[in-house]
Amino acid sequence: MDQSLKDHNRAHHGHRVGGLRAAVLGANDGIVSTASLIIGVASANGTRAAVLVAGAAGLIAGALSMAAGEYVSVHSQADSDSADLDVERRYLSSEPDLELDELAAIYEGRGLDPELASIVAKKLTEQDALAAHARDELGISERNVSNPLQAAAFSAASFAIGAFLPLAAVWFTASPQIPLIAAASLIFLSLLGAIAAKAGGANMVRGSLRVLVWGAVAMAATALVGHLFGTNV
């Protein structure tokens, strides 16, 4: 592959989507859920110790929940893909001509004329029939295949990092300061949204505002709940 083609491929961002998705979701959830939990407890007149305990518990529980959810999700998808590939192997073994026609029809549907579609289907079948059907019929490719354990660890780590940020804002203050916690958390969210948007090739301002608005809504809601419970309990 020549240098110009390598540079062209680097200009695209699709190869980053899997890891970016897990990192952004994990860190975003870590910041929003932990900051909201901390603000809710603080609004209910919780002591600094109570707020720290609630935040630490939220960090641990959230990280483990993210890990479990990501593991189950990725593993379920992998099991589904594996089952589909097993079915495809059986069809390729029992009905190779029908599968060849099916592949050619796919390429024809994408704009190739029938003769060229048939040639392409034959060439790809000769090279690796299962890979061709997995990619073009089932939509399974190496790029969107993830390791369940790796995805779980990545999600847990990103959540923990995100959750630590609002927790640190409490740790370094003498008493829970709700405006400070909220402001610090919203700044972290804004930076996260901007970084994620840049990595994905999207608009940084729009990406930043998206997470900023929803984070603010979540914190305001828990602050209101904490205030009401703190007043009436």
pLDDT in tens, 117-145: 888 888 888 888 888 888 888 877 765 56
Helix axes 17-43, 204-232, angle to 10 degrees: 30
Query: How many Cα atoms sit within 13 Å of 79 on the Cβ side?
Result: 7
Which amino acid belongs to residue 155?
S
pLDDT in tens, 31-51: 999 999 999 998 888 888 898
Helix axes 178-199, 17-43, angle to 10 degrees: 170
Residue 20, pLDDT score: 64
Query: What CA–CA distances, in Å, run from 114 to 16, 66, 101?
Result: 35, 48, 10
Q: Is 200 exposed, middle or buried (0-12, 13-18, 19+ CB in 10 A)?
A: middle
Question: If you average pLDDT over every residue of the chain, what do you get?
Answer: 81
CA 151, CA 124: separation in Å to the nearest integer? 31
Q: If you search the block for the tokens 């999207």, which residue do you land on? A: 202
Selected residue with higher pLDDT from 166 and 198: 166
Q: Give yes or no for residue 220 having a pLDDT over 70.
A: yes
pTM: predicted TM-score of the whole model, two decimal places: 0.71
